[in-house]
Amino acid sequence: MSDLTSLTLVEARKALDKKEFSATELTKAHLQKMEQTDHLNAFITKTPDYALARAAESDGKLAKGQGGLLEGLPIGMKDLFCTKDILTTAGSKILGNYKPQYESTVSSNLNAQGAVMLGKLNMDEFAMGSANLTSAYGSVKSPWHPKGSNKDYVPGGSSGGSAAAVACGSVMAATGTDTGGSIRQPAAFAGIVGIKPTYGLCSRFGIVAFASSLDQAGPMTKTVSDAALMLQAMAGYDSKDATSINQPIPDYLSLMNGNVKGLRIGIPKEYRVEGLDPQIDAIWDQGIAWMKEQGAEIVEISLPHTKYALPTYYIIAPAEASSNLARYDGVRFGLRVDEGDLKSLYENTRAQGFGEEVKTRILIGTYVLSAGYYDAYFIKALKVRRLITNDFNEAFKKVDVILTPTTPTPAFAIGEEPKDPVSMYMNDILTVTANIAGLPAISVPAGFTDQGMPLGLQLIGPALQETALLNAALAVEQAANFSEMSQKLRNAS
């Protein structure tokens, strides 16, 4: 039998049905891998006893020929999802003692489908970051290293713990959240698949809020097929989320065949951004060639307001964050620094509980919402958001999906990240547009730099067209020879 931690979700689910091994054996193998890769700091909270109890339940169901989509499959949960009676920190000191009394809808859906949670995964504090360097629980390290180097590299963020855990094989799949690229960018950096679904496809209930009009949960997996399976388990209408979309969730996996003959692929000229790494430009051209070879039609398109996407995002997201994070005051839950009067309680709790990046974004958000600046900044950003959405609406009259790079650069070494905030924010330049417009987008590993670091390609689709998007992603994965890539990925851990 092959190493159980090298299996995909689809492979393992079939093997469990055939009784080739048990869910308990599968879980123990991943718990062992989790300990072997502990140096990556991918987990904030480990739940081995809980996982083994869940695996035993799955074995009972499987013995009766029962079981859900993910029955007995070990996964990790980003520490932004509330899990009942299990520590949920959002990567922040201010929630360092918080054990929710309820379960997020996404984690409830995964539990209902038999998934076995191994623990809560590290992340940038309150999902604010592009490199997993802002967590109160320390930075996450990528399992990847450039040839001939022992430097530690970032796994991307904010879902960096999820990316690292999937990439090293300590979990079979993981949940992530994406506000401006926080699933897709780490997926590209870590050589895995990550999809941000249409806004509203996965419930936001029980996810610690960053920017409510942009946040969306999604899966991070080894393959596109696994992403389809995981998304089917995660998604669904939820009456507890006012933005949840009420429509049936298809069997994404059975609808994929990788055939893109006749598909119209849009190539936006505005995504040839300044500072785009030449190796990423080359893999984009390779992706275009792969699609042509498979019979797709390549169409150059224009998304003229793309240049305004990043400043628009960094007005809207901090504004919503400043509102959402006002609830952390030391009174109701979380950290409480009780010194002096009520005003001192608020000030000291927030000063000690929030990290520097979170404080910065709260201040930016408070500023753009303040009297005299609300119309000049926030309202104007909402108008530009509509123009960006309109660009996509026009583009999708001409094309079926859009193909771009996921990130402007490959992963960088810890300690060598851009030091000024604006340069760091540029990591999101190719991903934020999908969040602004509420569109589904997926990152697929497509190649390597000369130094052997992963590179990803991004596909963006019209709203609620996840089936077509996953199918196009499968075509990219097959052309890129993902099986060989994943073997290198396993060897890199």
Residue 362 predicted with pLDDT over 70 = yes
Query: Quick check: is 239 catalytic?
Result: no
**Beta-carbon count within 10 A of 419 CB:** 7
Q: pLDDT tens digits for 206-256?
A: 999 999 999 999 999 999 999 999 999 999 999 999 999 999 999 999 999
Residue with tokens 């009067």: 341
Q: pLDDT tens digits for 176-215?
A: 999 999 999 999 999 999 999 999 999 999 999 999 999 9
Q: Which DSSP string corresponds to 47-61?
A: -HHHHHHHHHHHHHH
Domain boundaries, the chain: 4-263+484-492
Query: 322: buried, middle or exposed (CB in 10 Å: 19+, 13-18, 0-12)?
Result: buried
- Three-class secondary structure assignment of the chain: CCCHHHCCHHHHHHHHHCCCCCHHHHHHHHHHHHHHCHHHCCEEEECHHHHHHHHHHHHHHHHCCCCCCCCCCEEEEECCECECCECCCCCCHHHCCCCCCCCCHHHHHHHHCCCEEEEEECCCHHHCCCCCCCCCCCCCCCCCCCCCCCCCECCCCCCHHHHHHHHHCCCCEEEEEECCCCCHHHHHHHCCEEEECCCCCCCCCCECCCCCCCCEEEEEECCHHHHHHHHHHHCCCCCCCCCCCCCCCCCCHHHCCCCCCCCEEEEEHHHCCCCCCHHHHHHHHHHHHHHHHCCCEEEEECCHHHHHHHHHHHHHHHHHHHHHHHHCCCCCCCCCCCCCCHHHHHHHHHHHHCCHHHHHHHHHHHHHCCCCCHHHHHHHHHHHHHHHHHHHHHHCCCCCEEEEECCCCCCCECCCCCCCHHHHHHHHCCCHHHHHHCCCEEEEEEEECCCCCEEEEEEECCCCCHHHHHHHHHHHHHHCCHHHHHHHHHHHC
Active-site residue (options: 6, 158, 244, 493): 158
Any idea what DSSP says for residue 124? S
Handedness of CA 109, 115, 120, 124 (dihedral sign): negative
Active-site residue (options: 33, 78, 120, 141): 78
CATH number belonging to the domain at 4-263+484-492, selected among 2.40.50.100, 3.40.50.2000, 2.160.20.10, 3.90.1300.10: 3.90.1300.10
Q: pLDDT tens digits for 444-459?
A: 999 999 999 999 999 9
pLDDT at 490: 46
Which one is predicted more confidently, 41 or 274? Answer: 41
Which one is predicted more confidently, 492 or 24? Answer: 24
Amino acid at 2: S
Q: pLDDT tens digits for 303-342?
A: 999 999 999 999 999 999 999 999 999 998 889 998 788 9
Query: Quick check: is 139 catalytic?
Result: no
> Residue 428 and residue 335: Cα distance in Å, rounded?
31
